[in-house]
Amino acid sequence: MGSSVCTSLVELAELGRLSRSMKKLEKDLKNTDKYQNEAYNDKLKKSNERTLALVKVGMDIVVAVGLLQLAPKKVTPRVTGDFGFVSSLISCYQLLPSSSKSKTN
């Protein structure tokens, strides 16, 4: 549980850092389409990955609370199982290879 809490703090800090750098890049690309910029798209992709990781860590924290029975009335075994299942699905999704666009010249 401690590891999940620390990971969530790291993910929040990284999301904040990415958000600041994306806003700075948006200011630089004010009169152009920001989605055509490769650097902006890379930062957006990283931001989406970090957000998904943060959601997964949040679910892992709920699972840990359920397994440790810190809130037995709120986090029942059914809730623990459901959150654990969804967390596992997210982990499987994160292990899938990313789709790479083929560049033709």
What is the predicted pLDDT for the residue at 26? 87
Q: How far is CA 64 from CA 3, 24, 26, 50, 91, in A?
A: 10, 38, 39, 21, 16
Whether residue 56 is predicted with pLDDT greater than 90 in this model: the reply is yes
pTM: 0.83
Confidence of residue 104 (pLDDT cuts 50, 70, 90): low
Q: Do residues 57 and 44 lie in contact, with contact meaning Cβ atoms separated by under 8 Å?
A: no
Which residue has tokens 């994306």? 22
DSSP string, 20-78: HHHHHHHHHTTTS-GGG-HHHHHHHHHHHHHHHHHHHHHHHHHHHHHHHTSSTTTS-HH
